[in-house]
Amino acid sequence: MSVHKRRLLGGTMAAAAAVALVACSGGGGGNGDENVEITLLVQTGGTGPAWGEALIEAFNEEHPEITVTLNSQPGGTEGDNLVKTKLATGEMEDVFTYNTGSLLQAINPDQNLVPLGDEEWASTLIEPFVPVVSTENGLYGAPNGTSQAGGILYNIPIYEELGLEVPTSWDEFMSNNDAIKEAGKTAIIQTYGDTWTSQLFVLGDFGNVTAQDEDWATEYTAGNRKYVEQPALQSFINQQEAYEGDYFNEDFASALFDDGLRMVSTGEGAHYPILSGGVSTIAQNYPDNIGDVGFFPLPAQDAEDTRATIWLPNAVYIPSTTEGEELEAAKLLVEFVNSPEGCRLQVELNVPAGPFATSLCELPSDVPQATQDLQTWVDDGLANPALEFVSPIKGPNLENITVQVGSGISTAEEGAALYDEDVIKQAQQLGLEGW
């Protein structure tokens, strides 16, 4: 209790000081060229901080009158809590990067963020991106980075050596796995040391679910579809079959995301169900092998239904606590993220793993093989957004449940039932109808 009070007190004092400062500078002179100070928040880990620094440097060449200070914080669930706390206590930085889709809905955008729907760039967004940064009342974020897909990164040399074809149905995929296993290689790479990577059999299969039942996501949000029923149950069954087929690397229980990327790029393993964003790490750590890694979506049972499952990029937002000239400066910075120079910076540090979400930016011509493979699926219209972008419901325990199914601790049916239980809490916390 008192901590809050003290914070509030600190906040008031800071505000008072700021008012005093503004008053002083207001007396000092003109409006146009005085120095405005704003802050930018990025997530640590990966290329976040490096991108932030580069962005600020480029931004200052164009707007020397705005001083931007870079702050960083951890990502993941820990970061989610920090973001919520900062927004609730009014201490959020003036511009911050954060997820789109269900995680954005969880930070209550209508109350906490500045609507940006009237900005010029807002009309250039690709259609599937608009809902993931919007509520009924407005649009709140500008895209930052490229989209990616959840599917299978595969090792092209192994495919060539064994004369395999890229599979489009689950049966073809399984017979490829048998052939690879017979050749004495790891057919499927799993890395449960980083538990989130275990979810891809389920999350990356969602494009196929949508292909079979267009309204699945809407009905799921309304509480009328469940994972214990087909077609969604199949995602869990697929993971169970993959485990029972004994296709996994022997250290699947302890291996990490980075190990998985190493295996698929150097040919220690053939298939790695993962986000295609992994290619940017491969480009950094195994640049000689980047051409050896291709992409295909997780195959549906019926080749007709196979779709790429797309993850839309993160976005930059402005909290509603940013006002006045700071707000104007913050809007300029947000706009700059998708300027020609901003677009270049987005793909300079992160090798693009999929298309941009705004027509303002274009992919460079030398993108990796896996990105080109994905682009074909998108261009053919065979791509659907991932569940977290079309429904606010995402249970927190999915990664533990998929570890259980993928390690033979529980069956697909048990896992699906557990997950259906798990999401009830999320739906209730969000106050959705029908739960």
Partner 1 sequence: MAQAVATKPQPTRRSVKSMYPTWFYIPAGVLYVVLFAIPTFASFYFAFTRWSLQDVEFTGLQNFITFFSEPQLRTGFTNTFIYGFVTSGLKVVFGLALALLLTGQLMARGYLRSVVFFPVLVSAIGVGITFKVLMDPFDGLINSSLEAIGITGPAWLTDPQWALYSVALIDVWKGVGIATLIYIAGLAAIPQEYYEAAKVDGAGGWKNFWHITLPLVRPATATVVLLSLIGGLRSFDLIWATTRGGPGFTSDVIASVIYKQYQAGFYGLSTAGNVVLFIVVTAIVVPVSYFLNRREVER
| Residue 397 within binding range of partner 1, rule CB under 8 A | yes
What is the rounded end-to-end Cα distance, in angstroms, of the chain? 32
Residue 108 or 266: the one with the smaller Cβ distance to partner 1 is 108
**In this chain, which of 91, 241, 251, 268 binds partner 1, going by CB under 8 A?**
251
| Amino acid occupying residue 423 | V
The Cα 326–Cα 70 span in angstroms is 15
Quick one: which segment of 105-113, 178-186, 268-276, 353-361 binds partner 1 (CB under 8 A)? 105-113
Quote the least distance from Cβ 46 to partner 1, whole Å: 20
| Amino acid occupying residue 320 | S
Q: Which two tokens stand for residue 74?
A: 């951890």
| Residue 135 within binding range of partner 1, rule CB under 8 A | no
| Residue 407 within binding range of partner 1, rule CB under 8 A | yes
Q: Coil, strand, or helix at residue 328? A: helix
Quick one: which segment of 245-253, 283-291, 303-311, 352-360 binds partner 1 (CB under 8 A)? 245-253
Q: How remote is the C-alpha of 166 from its chain's centroid?
A: 26
**In this chain, which of 131, 138, 193, 245 binds partner 1, going by CB under 8 A?**
193
Query: What is the footprint of partner 1 within residues 25-44 (CB under 8 A)?
Result: none
| Amino acid occupying residue 112 | N
| Residue 404 within binding range of partner 1, rule CB under 8 A | yes
| Residue 425 within binding range of partner 1, rule CB under 8 A | yes
Closest CA to 368 of 278, 298, 299, 308: 278
The contact pattern for partner 1, residues 70-99, with x = CB under 8 A and - = no contact, is -------xx-xx--xx-xxx----------
Residue 135 or 407: the one with the smaller Cβ distance to partner 1 is 407
Residue 51 or 236: the one with the smaller Cβ distance to partner 1 is 236
SS (H, E, C) 341-378: HHHHHHHHHCCCCCCCCECCCCCCCCCCHHHHHHHHHH
Closest CA to 336 of 361, 311, 362, 364: 361
Other residues' Cβ atoms within 10 Å of the Cβ of residue 104: 23
**In this chain, which of 167, 300, 400, 412 binds partner 1, going by CB under 8 A?**
400
Q: Which two tokens stand for residue 16?
A: 């008072």
| Eight-state DSSP code of residue 198 | G
| Residue 410 within binding range of partner 1, rule CB under 8 A | yes
| Residue 195 within binding range of partner 1, rule CB under 8 A | yes
Closest CA to 36 of 325, 336, 334, 331: 325
Quick one: which segment of 33-41, 124-132, 238-246, 426-434 binds partner 1 (CB under 8 A)? 426-434
Residue 146 or 404: the one with the smaller Cβ distance to partner 1 is 404
Residue 108 or 212: the one with the smaller Cβ distance to partner 1 is 108
| Eight-state DSSP code of residue 61 | H
How many helices (H) does the chain have, and how many strands (E)?
Answer: 20, 13
Closest CA to 143 of 286, 1, 356: 356
Residue 214 or 421: the one with the smaller Cβ distance to partner 1 is 421
Q: Which residues lie near partner 1 (CB under 8 A)?
A: 1-2, 77-78, 80-81, 84-85, 87-89, 106, 108, 111, 192-193, 195, 250-251, 253-254, 396-397, 400-401, 403-404, 407, 409-410, 418, 421, 424-426, 428-429
